[in-house]
Structures are given as C-alpha cells and as structure tokens.
Structure 1
Amino acid sequence: MIRKSLLAVVAAVGLTSCLKDPVDSETTMLGKEQEKIMDEYVASNGLTAKKEVLYDANGNYFPIYSMIETKGDTINKFTNNEAVWVAYTIRTLENRVVETKAATDSVLIYENGYSGKILGLSVGSTIFMGKGGKGRFLIPSTLGYGTNPPGGVEYNAILMVDIEVIDRLSESQQIQWYIKKNKLTNVETTSSGLMISKTVVTTDSLITGTTATVKFSGHFVNGFEFQKESTGTNMVLSQYISGFSEAVKLMRKGEKAIAILPSKIAYGENGGGTMPVFMPLVFKLELLDNN
C-alpha cells in the first residue's frame, strides 16, 4: 500500500447543504426515520436546536440538529488538507457517555473524515464552526457508528456530540503537533524534509543494496492506522514512496524508528489518486535485515 501506486485506504464523505431532492436510498430512508425521533427528542427536552439538512455527492440525505454555543472565527474553505484539533464527548440519547477527549488527549479531525472517528465529528467541526467554536449536535447513525457500534451502543444509534474546536492546523503544524503529543526526542531532519527519531539504535552497517526486510505500521498524524506489516516484508526500495525508502536507508539492522513524512515525499497534492491529499504520514519501522 505504500508503493507509488496504491489502493484506497479509508472511506470519506463530503457533505453539502445545497438543497436538492434526496435520492431514494436506504441511507435516505434511515435518515428520515431518525429525523422524526430527533424531532421528538428536541421537543420533549425543550431544546433550542436548528435542523440542518445535508446531502452527499450521491444525493443521500443526512438530517442534523445543531445547537451552537459559540460559532468561532470565520469558516473559510479548507485548503491543502488542514486539520481541526477538537475536544469532544459522544453520548447516546440516553445520556450514556461513549467516548470523551479533552484537548490534551484528543485527535486531529479532517474535513472529509480520515480520522478513524465517527464522521459526525468531521461534519460538526468543519461545516458549522470555526476555531474557538463550541456546539452540540444530534446526528443520525449514518454519521455515527452505524451498523458497527462499540460495546453498549445500540445498532444504528442516534448520537449526541459535543464539540469544541481548539485550533486549525496546516501540514507543518500537524507534524509539530504529533512530535509534541508523542514527546519525540532526537528528531533528525534531512534535506528532503524527512524527520526520523530512532527508538532502538544498533552498530550494524547501513543498507548498501536495493532491498530490505522491514516490519512497519503506517499512520496519519492523528493516529489512524492505514497499514500494518507485523511479520516483516522484503521490499525493493525503489518501488516505494521516496520518504519511506529514504527512512529505511538511514537505518541499521535491528534498529527501530519513527519516520515522519511531509506529503511532498509521500503522496503529495493528488494523494496518489486514493490517499488524502497533502497528508503527512508517520511510519513506525523496524529493520529486520538490510539485504
């Protein structure tokens, strides 16, 4: 998957408030059924909520109820895959807390998902609020856990999500956020922009050939894991993205390292066709053999 061409790694959704007739689909039908439940919940609890009507590119219908406490700064178009740093709490309608994250232990959210978290977090934090914004949202299960909920959460549960937008980060800021959050030390930066921090150091020789056996896992800077090779794989290094190959060539047999790749030495401005554009990548590496 880290070859120069690759398969899709995650699903994302881009939603818009443009008015249109929704398509007749299971997603739309479920959204309309859950809209009635949310209507009743808002009324019975005396909430002041605004009904938001969103659609995806295929015309599927997603009803959301927003209760904005503070809108935050002006919402502009997201460029170059900026990330949103959020604190949040996810609850069921029975007020059971499913997950909560404060600023100190939270994650980065992207406009179109790519976080391993419910899409409702992306929708609430990027469509309705800017930096400094705070709000509560009722979201349908199609933007929640859907048919794969965590333990204790019902199948296709409607969720209540509290979100605070702490900051909005460029690519370079995302990388610095990752380094600080993970308390990385001895980070070396090469002329290409690759950042590498060795966690286990040996005195073996560097790679002199064109192949290597590597155990690794690949992540976005928010921690979402998109690939893992837990037993090691033999690689022809020239077939892989430049930042990955460069990092491996800086390692000695038996060493472990964390390599941070700016997007320019990963998949760049077009995402290789299927990865998120302008996405910095993190690889946790172990060099098993420098063939």
Structure 2
Amino acid sequence: MKNSILRSRYLTLALSLLLAVPALWSCNTETTVQKSLREHDELMRVIDEDTIQKYLARNQITNAVRTNSGLYVVPLVEGTGPAVTAGKKVSVKYVGRLLSNGAQPGSTGYPASPGDGRFPAGSVFDNSSENRTECGCAVFTAGSGAIAGFSEGLLLMKKGDRKLLLIPSRLAYGTQGQTGSIPPDSALLFDIEVLEVF
C-alpha cells in the first residue's frame, strides 16, 4: 500500500514536470520575429539618441532635460499659468518638424541608408497655424489623443510655456510612420507654446 502511494506521488510529480516543461520553454524562447523587433528597437534607440545629441550640439543647446522615456525637453519661454494635467483641455500653437527622415538601420550597422529623400530632416510635417482656426492653434485633451512623446511633453508644461520636444521614433510614429508625411523610424521635433489650460 505504502509503495503504491509513493509510486502515485512520483507519477503525479513526473507528469506535472513533463506538462510544465513546454510552458517553461515557451516563456523563455524568443521567436525570430520577436528577436528581429527587439534588435530593431535597440538599434533605433541608439540612432535616435545620436540624432538628438547631434541636434543639441549643432544648435548649442545646453539646457535640454532628458526624461526616463528618452524624450528631450528644451525650455524656451517659462510660463506662469496653471500646469497642464491629464484630462484638461489645452490650447496650443505648434510646429512639427522631422528631426530625422526615417534613416533605416542596416544589417551590419548604422546607418544603412539616408532615409526617405522625399522628406528631408528639418522639413515641417504639421503646423497648427494651418488648421484654419481663428487662433491658429489646436486643442488637445492632455494625456491622450496624441503620440506618446507629445503627450508626455505636454504634461510637463504650463500656460505660457514654450518648449521644444525632441521625440525619439519609438515615442512618435515608430516603425509605421504616417503615410505621406512621416517616414517610418523618424525622430520628431515639436516647438510648442501652451496658450490656455481649461
């Protein structure tokens, strides 16, 4: 009787281990697609950081602040009004430019190609003054409805602030880009002024 109980326990334990092994393998196994995406993301982080650092050096900007996400914020004008908080409506004037033009990483290093020649770095892809509004501005709900870098930067501002946001591609439109105006893997620059917080 004792031996059959022990055998039953060993059998249950062995069966449990056999059933658990594939689950353990799948948790630790990276697919080819996952590996490719991870490597692309790691390389784009290096490329975007280099692009932003070169922009700061070229323009002799020394007061940029880097957030944990990799967004760079450059204060231009200090406002005195209420802070932008999540859920608040915010009226802003802005100009969006390509900081890079989607330079694609190569299989052997950086960069493999100069990016999309139709969209030179520095070109304007969006301007609130062209929105045909009386104020030449746009209204956003802070914390939503925009790319991650824009939303994060807006939440670091207050009424009257004017700041540059230097946004890595992963916090912008990433590998998808935006058809017709922003190539994939493009870092962006926004010059933003907060007109009103309500």
2:104 maps to 1:197: no
User: 1:86-165, aligned counterparts within 5 Å?
Assistant: none
Deviation at 1:228?
Answer: 0.6
Deviation at 1:246?
Answer: 1.1
Residue number in structure 2 paired with 1:179: 56
Deviation at 1:191?
Answer: 1.3
- TM-score of the two chains, using structure 1 as the length reference: 0.40
2:94 maps to 1:213: no
Deviations 1:176-232 (A, max 9, x none): 111112222211111111100110012322113432101000001231111111311
Deviations 1:5-43 (A, max 9, x none): xxxxxxxxxxxxxxxxxxxxxxxxxxxxxxxxxxxxxxx
Q: Secondary structure at the match of 2:175?
A: helix
Larger Rg: 1 or 2? 2
- TM-score of the two chains, using structure 2 as the length reference: 0.58
After TM superposition, the runs of 4+ consecutive aligned structure 1 residues lying more than 3 A away are: none
Residue number in structure 2 paired with 1:224: 123
Question: Residue 245 of structure 1 aligns to which amino acid in structure 2?
Answer: S
Residue number in structure 2 paired with 1:277: 184
Instruction: Give the Cα separation in 1 of the matches to 2:68 and 2:172.
Output: 15
Deviations 1:119-141 (A, max 9, x none): xxxxxxxxxxxxxxxxxxxxxxx
Question: Residue 223 of structure 1 aligns to which amino acid in structure 2?
Answer: G
Is contact 2:79–2:162 with CA below 8 Å preserved after alignment? no
Question: Residue 226 of structure 1 aligns to which amino acid in structure 2?
Answer: F
* Structure 2: segments with no counterpart, 5+ residues: 1-39, 100-120, 130-135
Q: Secondary structure at the match of 1:259?
A: strand
Q: Secondary structure at the match of 1:193?
A: coil
Instruction: Give the Cα separation in 2 of the matches to 1:220 and 1:205.
Output: 30
Is contact 2:80–2:160 with CA below 8 Å preserved after alignment? no
Instruction: Give the Cα separation in 2 of the matches to 1:178 and 1:217.
Output: 17
Percent identical = 33
Instruction: Give the Cα separation in 1 of the matches to 2:52 and 2:175.
Output: 17
Is contact 2:74–2:163 with CA below 8 Å preserved after alignment? yes
Is contact 2:96–2:189 with CA below 8 Å preserved after alignment? yes
Instruction: Give the Cα separation in 2 of the matches to 1:172 and 1:192.
Output: 11
Q: Which has the higher helix share?
A: 2
1:250 aligns with one of 156, 159, 170 = 156
Deviation at 1:272?
Answer: 4.5
Aligned residues: 126
Instruction: Give the Cα separation in 2 of the matches to 1:185 and 1:200.
Output: 15
User: 1:75-86, aligned counterparts within 5 Å?
Assistant: none
Instruction: Give the Cα separation in 2 of the matches to 1:191 and 1:171.
Output: 14
Instruction: Give the Cα separation in 2 of the matches to 1:210 and 1:245.
Output: 12
Is contact 2:148–2:171 with CA below 8 Å preserved after alignment? yes
Question: Residue 60 of structure 2 aligns to which amino acid in structure 1?
Answer: K
Deviation at 1:273?
Answer: 5.2
1:170 aligns with one of 21, 41, 47 = 47
Question: Residue 126 of structure 2 aligns to which amino acid in structure 1?
Answer: Q
* Structure 1: segments with no counterpart, 5+ residues: 1-78, 83-168
Q: Which shows bigger deviation, 240-249 or 268-277?
A: 268-277
Residue number in structure 1 paired with 2:145: 239
Residue number in structure 2 paired with 1:91: none
Structure with higher RCO (Cα < 8 A, 6+ apart): 2
